[in-house]
Amino acid sequence: MIMPSPDILLASTSVYRKALLEKTGLTFTCAAPNIDETPVPGESPAELVKRLAQSKATALASAYPGHLIIGSDQVCVIDGNITGKPHTFDNAFRQLQAASGKTVTFYTGLSLYNGETQTAQTLCETFDVTFRPLTAEEITGYLHREEPYDCAGSFKCEGLGITLFDSLTGRDPNTLIGLPLIALLAFLREQGINPLI
């Protein structure tokens, strides 16, 4: 007897993550996880995003029993400092000014929580972005055009943000947008879900 596939829940209200997951053709719903995202003192970027991704997934487990719940979180590290979403023009300007001419590492945590077995698969993927030297005029022009204030690193690589870079290095370009699809699809296949079958 074939068991029905569990329902999939994306523990996020990010339009970017939702758009990425929609590309797979899988049916899913979204919900806000509402967790405390404060870093723990001494926590590495990789530990932080893995903890937050898993916390986001498990936070919704009681409200969505039996679901496969996807949690994800992302930070970038500029000059050794963990940086998140800028929220304002001034913060975004400072982030891009600090990244100018440097390689910035993005850490994206991914967790798939199985509400039936109450187990989680969790990992961290990194992606390096090398920014070309940027002028204040270019940064201002970019920020006014794209307003990436809800994006870690202060850019949208799927849009005009690509003009800021010298190079990109990583396994999955979707990771940079906030959801490592290659890793997620591998996790889902381990749970018996394959969008091709």
Residues marked active site are found at: 73
Q: Are 188 and 5 in contact (CB under 8 A)?
A: no
Q: Are 133 and 69 in contact (CB under 8 A)?
A: no
**Structure tokens given for 194:** 């394959």
Dist. CA 85–CA 152, nearest whole Å: 4
Residues in the chain: 197
Dist. CA 44–CA 124, nearest whole Å: 11
Q: Which residues of 5-162 form beta strands (DSSP E)?
A: 8-10, 29-30, 68-78, 81-83, 103-114, 119-131
* Collapsed DSSP state (helix, strand, coil) of residue 12: coil
The CA-atom distances, in angstroms, between 78 and each of 24, 97, 145, 167 are 32, 10, 23, 16
